Amino acid sequence: MAGRRCASRAGLSLVLLLAVLVGCGGRAPSDTAAAEVRRVLDRRATAVLDGDAAAFRATGASAGAGTGFANLREVPLADWSYRLTELRRTGDRATADAQLRYRIKGYDAAPVTVDRTLRLTRTDGTWRVTSDEPAGRGGAQLWDQGAVTAVRGEHSLVLGVGQSGERLRSFAGLADRAVPAVSEAWGTDWARHVVVLVPKSLEGMAGLLGAPASGYRGIAAVTTGEAGGSAKAPADRIIVNPDAYGVLGDLGKQVVLTHETTHVATRAHTTAATPLWLSEGYADWAGYRGSGRAPGQVAPELERAVAEGHVPAALPDDAEFGFTSDAGRLARAYEGGWMASRLIADHWGEVRLNDFYRAVGDHRERAGAVEGALRDVLRTTPEQFTRLWRQYLEDQLG
């Protein structure tokens, strides 16, 4: 009797479970939208990699669905894939959050990952993409801004939108000279090639960085990338501000590209422990190395301050390097960092300068990093180094 009651209860439980699963309609839900959207995104990614415009258009909901594909035509891609992270559906419309992972052939050691928002609509039982945009305030990709033109150099790949082939070739020439110059200064333990992005305008640069254009006005170029990244981390991108870059002279243009290339080379040893006076100062040192420029030509703002009796009391702190800082203050910060690296190269030698840079970054934490490297590599103290630096400013710029 007891066994029968247990069996009856088990059967009742099974009936109730089936009722929950099936629902009042008497059949299990058939909404497989997420799986269907994943398949659409997979087909879209395959079309991009195969260069199949017709297959790409087939994943879109409108006649203009191939525009994004056309913008990508000249970008040499090794990988391109989407990972669906969330799908919000209302009837025959849906919004998908996805991670786009892509890799540029021959340049990226690992995929670059960016967040995208895709909107889709379902017609005739098939989901199709109506838009594919940067997610939230995330940075746009260059192909979001128009058709990309690609120029290959010996050590570089230059990708531009709204730029002539001649101008992009000039950037490739600058980058091709920068790479061996940086290797000569820093060494060869880095990729020894760079990707340079040249948008149409300052606003385009800001769009790639996901930041207001006002913060980069007057800044000729920046380098993006993961500080302290491993050798398998994605390659950095040097992003040019064509408005500011265009007003530079020949030497200035070369110094800027060499400076930014130095950031690419030193990335694995640039961590939270590295103060900006060292990372920016070293990049300027590499940029001007061998140029024959006198200190006063490179550091005019600091020269003016020293002439007026205002020798800085300490090395510039990170806050002084903010792009929104007073222009004179920002210039003095860069110049002060450059003079510090120049001092180490002059007083201890270039090998010690490189060893010092690596030792600071390899500490990984800011506290004690500079102090330890000064002690272990240069055999000095922060107080002694600051005094020597201040005297160096007076001797070189006074």
Q: What is the pLDDT of residues 239-248, one digit of tens each?
A: 999 999 999 9
pLDDT score for 232: 53
Integer Rg of the chain from CA: 28
Q: Which pair of tokens denotes residue 279?
A: 């990372």
Query: Per mean pLDDT, which range of 161-165, 211-215, 222-226, 289-293 is the poorest?
Result: 222-226
- With 90 as the cut, is the pLDDT of residue 74 above it? yes
In this prediction the pTM is 0.88
Coil, strand or helix at 86: strand
- With 90 as the cut, is the pLDDT of residue 137 above it? no
Q: What is the pLDDT of residues 17-64, one digit of tens each?
A: 333 333 333 333 346 999 999 999 999 999 999 999 999 999 998 766
| Helix intervals (H) in 187-320 | 202-209, 242-245, 250-266, 276-288, 295-298, 300-307
**At 322, is the pLDDT very low, low, confident or very high (cuts 50, 70, 90)?**
confident
C-alpha separations of 375 from 134, 271, 273, 278, 356 in Å: 47, 19, 16, 16, 10
- With 90 as the cut, is the pLDDT of residue 353 above it? yes
C-alpha separations of 252 from 104, 111, 123, 147 in Å: 29, 33, 55, 29
Mean pLDDT of 183-201: 97
Alpha carbons 230 and 216: distance in angstroms, whole number: 28
Share of the chain above pLDDT 70, in %: 88
- With 70 as the cut, is the pLDDT of residue 228 above it? no
**At 289, is the pLDDT very low, low, confident or very high (cuts 50, 70, 90)?**
very high
**At 65, is the pLDDT very low, low, confident or very high (cuts 50, 70, 90)?**
low
Across all residues in the chain, what is the average pLDDT? Answer: 89
Looking up tokens 């059967």 gives 11
Mean pLDDT of 322-349: 92
- With 90 as the cut, is the pLDDT of residue 189 above it? yes
Domains defined along the chain, listed by start: 33-136 (3.10.450.50), 139-266 (3.30.2010.30), 271-398 (no CATH)
Kindly state the helix (H) or strand (E) to which residue 333 belongs, with its residue range.
helix 327-347
- With 70 as the cut, is the pLDDT of residue 380 above it? yes
- Residue 235 or 309, more confident: 309
Q: What is the pLDDT of residues 75-115, one digit of tens each?
A: 999 999 999 999 999 999 999 999 999 999 999 988 999 99
| Helix intervals (H) in 59-136 | 67-72
Q: Which pair of tokens denotes residue 58?
A: 């087939």
- With 80 as the cut, is the pLDDT of residue 226 above it? no
Share of the chain above pLDDT 90, in %: 80
- Those residues whose C-beta lies under 8 Å from the C-beta of residue 246, and which sit 6 or more positions away, are none
Closest CA to 71 of 54, 45, 58, 53: 53
Closest CA to 260 of 211, 290, 222, 297: 222
pLDDT score for 7: 36
